[in-house]
Amino acid sequence: MAFDLVFFGGTGDLTWRKLMPALFQAFRHGKLPPGGRILAVARDDRTDEQYRAFIQERFSEVDSSKRPSDEEFAQFAALLHYRRMDLSQPTDYQGLKAWLDERGAETVVLYLATSPHLFPVICEQLGAAGLNDSKVRVVLEKPLGHDLASAKEINRVVRSVFREEQAFRIDHYLGKPSVQNLMALRFGNALFEPLWRRESIANIQITLAEGLGVGTRGDFYDRTGALRDMIQNHALQLLTMIAMEPPPSADADAIRDEKLKVLKSLKPFTAAHISRDVVRGQYRAGNVDGKAVPGYLDEVKVPTGSACETFVAIRTEVQNWRWAGVPFYLRTGKRLAARDAQIVVNFRPVPHPIFAGGSRANKLIIKLQPEDGLELQLLAAKGNSHGESLTTVSLDLDFDKAFPSERVGAYERLLLDAIAGRLNLFVRSDEQEQAWRWVEPILDAWAQDSGDLKTYAAGSWGPPAASALVARDGFAWAEEE
């Protein structure tokens, strides 16, 4: 299948740090369809050869196992092209169209790896240039907007140029193999479905923890914050996949219809709920891996006295028959004790324990990163003596060991899906807007009052108030049990 893949923002960090290495891996694994061209566009003056040298130099910064040999890069570089464009100039879009029309590829994927505020301008210009026919797909990188109004405006412009099935709103978390296994776990196995409901499950915890700080991205992060950066998209997408009803098929819209129902069922926030059920924090100086690290306010490019949150913990509920009364806890933060992304499904204890220690409950841990696997915690007897307490034992599945061949990374999978036109792992506009609609009361409340910002030491698990949030229901975060 001949394809043309165009990166707007072709010299930006996202393109050379994530997208080009992902494409190279697809090329190395023989998964990239033959007959493809990859075009980077940006404002700089470069030749094809200069751009290829730029990308080859940047490959030295990726993991050693993912770096190409000189021979491999020479083969991959033959696919790479470069074109100078001023994204505000209609004539440059006409030139791009002429370049694409020369060959007439079966599929054209336009990847907007730029700042989101440029999305409307680029899409309008693409429409004016006629770069929106049925063979064209547009990929929109997150964050899609800063709030509900800006998200709606971006979607309005996109819809004025492209049909919904041409728009691929990317959330790279959905491309992770471990996240894809959420669907397989729930809807490819009969084991858990009878238990996947309020009668058997006590609470569900979703943690997206990062050990790193904001680094040199302080100016960007300060305009975004943890709620926009991680909760509105990644955490809510994971929640929908955990809580959704079984879709009638694996069709993209069938899946996204069920995810949207979950988002619409989330308990809405009032001012009282926000003060009680939302904790926001900001890291101060501390120690990570035995090394002293600065607080957020001392990071590069962070404004003096900033009230930007680097940590959020939320308690919510899905108000439907399956989940009524089951608390869902969402948590994310920077400079936490570990880089750890996981979903913990805590089951209810047995109704009438007859063994010592039998009041402890089973749990299913879905590991997203750095490990990728499943851990099912059960209770068992060692068999040493009569009346002994039950002990927790684990059934552990490491997907990297279970599937030892090279597995497809998140961006690699999503790029291949965009080229193939598969929408299953992309977010529909109504999903995205509903997620913004749910978090917006929190954003509005914070804009009016920054006095509830808690602090936490770098290298900890966040403010003590986050522990109190869960303890109020009689539970604890997984690492505190």
Could you list the active site residues? 234
Burial of residue 127 (CB within 10 Å: 0-12, 13-18, 19+) is: middle
| Residue 65, number of CB atoms within 10 A of its CB | 7
Q: Give the span between the Cα atoms of 435 and 169, in whole angstroms.
A: 13
Burial of residue 47 (CB within 10 Å: 0-12, 13-18, 19+) is: exposed
